[in-house]
Chain A
Amino acid sequence: MRRLRTASERNKLTQNIGFTGLRLAALITVVPIVLVVVYIFWQGSPAISWEFISGFPREGMRAGGILPAIVGTFWLTLGTGIIAVPLGIGAAIYLAEYAPDTNWTRAIRIAIINLAGIPSVVYGLFGLGLFVLFLQFGTSIVAGSLTLAIMTLPVIISTTEEALRAVPNSFRVVSISLGGSKWQTIRRVVIPQALPGILTGVILGLERAAGETAPILFTVAAFFLPRLPTSIFDATMALPYHLFVISTQVPGMPVQIQYGTAVVLLTFVLSMNTVAAVIRSRARARRQW
């Protein structure tokens, strides 16, 4: 009896040590994230002014604002969305609602997994080879948006598919039994139910695209272009690339402008993140199934 108790005590001790380790690891993972965000805002918010957000860079980017970079990132994100959202949702609908269980479907899934894993700089090379040179779009917003869109596709496809699959089958059965066609069922019943999940996925995908630098290095990004793009075939500055340029390529750059740019980029990304989180939690609260 005595032995038994010590054995269970020992188990208890192992468990306590193990759990403490897990808690510690989670803490080590999370604390730097908070620190990064807080530190960037703390260092960079003094640089934020109306002039910084709405002005053009001056004195070799060492003064003035970053408007062209903000506008550039806005257009790139929009362009990426216009291309990737219909394509991604379409692909997800195919996989969740239509695709038979064949080797071709498996090939599609494998292709998506691979798209998700291809390094971002390789997307940049691909965009340079296909869109910039072969299709002769030049370094332009179209070329960059197309490149970013293909990179974003797997995120949108997988989250959308998950959202569609979460809709209970009885919804579909009822719709079809009422005489709805397959597509009517998807459009009027399944998609509306899955919409919050789809939106969340789309926003998270576009958030990644907005923050990416490597794919746009050779497809859109202009080192210094103190005017706004006037057509989709223009090159443009972009926030992430601008941050890269001013933190490595320009000597004597005031730190405050660097942190200021980081704050704007971070705000861009975090606000998308927040919108996605709000949509998700609201949907979860309202869900009837």
Chain B
Amino acid sequence: MRELNWREYITTRLIRACGYSAIIFVGLIFIFLLREGSPALVEIPLPSLFSSRWYPIEEYFGILPLISGSIVVTIGATLVSVPLGLSTAIFIAEIAPRWAKEILKPLVEVLAGLPSVMLGFLGILVVAPFIRTATNIPTGLTAFTGALILGMMAIPTIVSVAEDALDAVPRTYREAAHALGATEWQTIWRVTLPAARSGVLTAIMLGIGRAIGETMTVMMVTGNAPVLLTGLESLFRPVRTMTATIAAEMGEVATGSVHYHTLFLIGITLFLISLIVNMAAAGVVFRQRKRAERILS
């Protein structure tokens, strides 16, 4: 009996350590990004850091073009993925017959598992030439191409989170709406969706987070030109995102150089963006859960 207690004690401790490891990892990631990235803030004066020229070989480290590249591609991807993802989620959760669900859900899961490098590869060989001939521009490797493929890649995140949210809406809500004479469509639009609002919002935010962070596809299909974007027409020009810059240049820099530190600084920026997006998404969920608990108790 004594031995049993002893073993119980050890396993409990181990399991708790596993639980807390998540916090440790986030901390470690932040510490090591800071360690390698913060020197850049000292080495490069702030005005030149926020200038519009990224040309590391001649010591130009303006990160604005990279930020604008990320923003344009992400907005484009959001415009593709949010309507498609939400509609698919609503379809699966509310109106699809059983057989359609059985086909759709695994397929969306397959999409989530498709390696980004493979979609980038197809982007280069199939999508980019198609866009070039369709729009008659000099190269198909543009922000638009990236946004299109990235939009596809963000869909699984949106679908799975939004579908969970819709599923979680109690059936009584729908039954009440039907009893009042609402059509299926009115029920979805006026009852189910508003009730699942917070989950749907989370889904959108996580989808956006996914798009900002995507690396390989973007690096392969957006043409990699670090130029500051001006207007809508720059959607059809090559751009370069923050993620792609890190991935493309880190392999060639000397450890400890200014360029190296700057790439880590971009990494810190990305880390903080994802932190904010995810905290906001989590905040919505937690708040909602609390409210639900209050109502139910």
Q: Which residues of chain A have a CB within 8 Å of any CB of chain B?
A: 11-12, 14-15, 18-19, 21-23, 25-26, 28-30, 32-34, 36-37, 39-40, 86-91, 93-95, 98-99, 104, 106-126, 128-130, 133-134, 150, 153-154, 157, 181-183, 204, 207-208, 210-214, 217-218, 240-241, 243-244, 247-248, 255, 258, 262, 265-266, 269-270, 272-273, 277
Contact = CB atoms under 8 A, between A and B. Distances in A.
Given A33-B110, A129-B32, A213-B116, A114 B278 contact: yes
A265 B87 CA distance: 30
A125 B36 contact: yes
B122 A23 contact: no
Given A21-B87, A26-B96, A207-B113, A129 B36 contact: yes
Contact of B21 (A91, A93, A117): A91
Interface in B154-191: 155, 159, 183-186, 188-189
Interface residues of B, number: 93
Given A40-B122, A248-B124, A125 B250 contact: yes
Interface in B227-271: 243, 246-247, 250-251, 255, 263-264, 267, 270-271
A157 B22 contact: yes
B216 interface: yes
Interface in B1-56: 4, 7-8, 11-12, 14-23, 25-26, 28-29, 32-33, 35-36
B113 A273 contact: yes
Contacts of B22: 91, 108, 111-112, 115, 153-154, 157
A120 B215 contact: yes
29 contacts: A11-B186, A15-B184, A26-B88, A26-B104, A29-B84, A91-B22, A93-B15, A98-B16, A98-B19, A99-B19, A109-B282, A111-B23, A111-B25, A112-B22, A113-B281, A117-B210, A120-B116, A120-B213, A121-B247, A121-B270, A122-B274, A125-B246, A129-B32, A153-B22, A211-B116, A212-B116, A214-B247, A243-B117, A270-B113
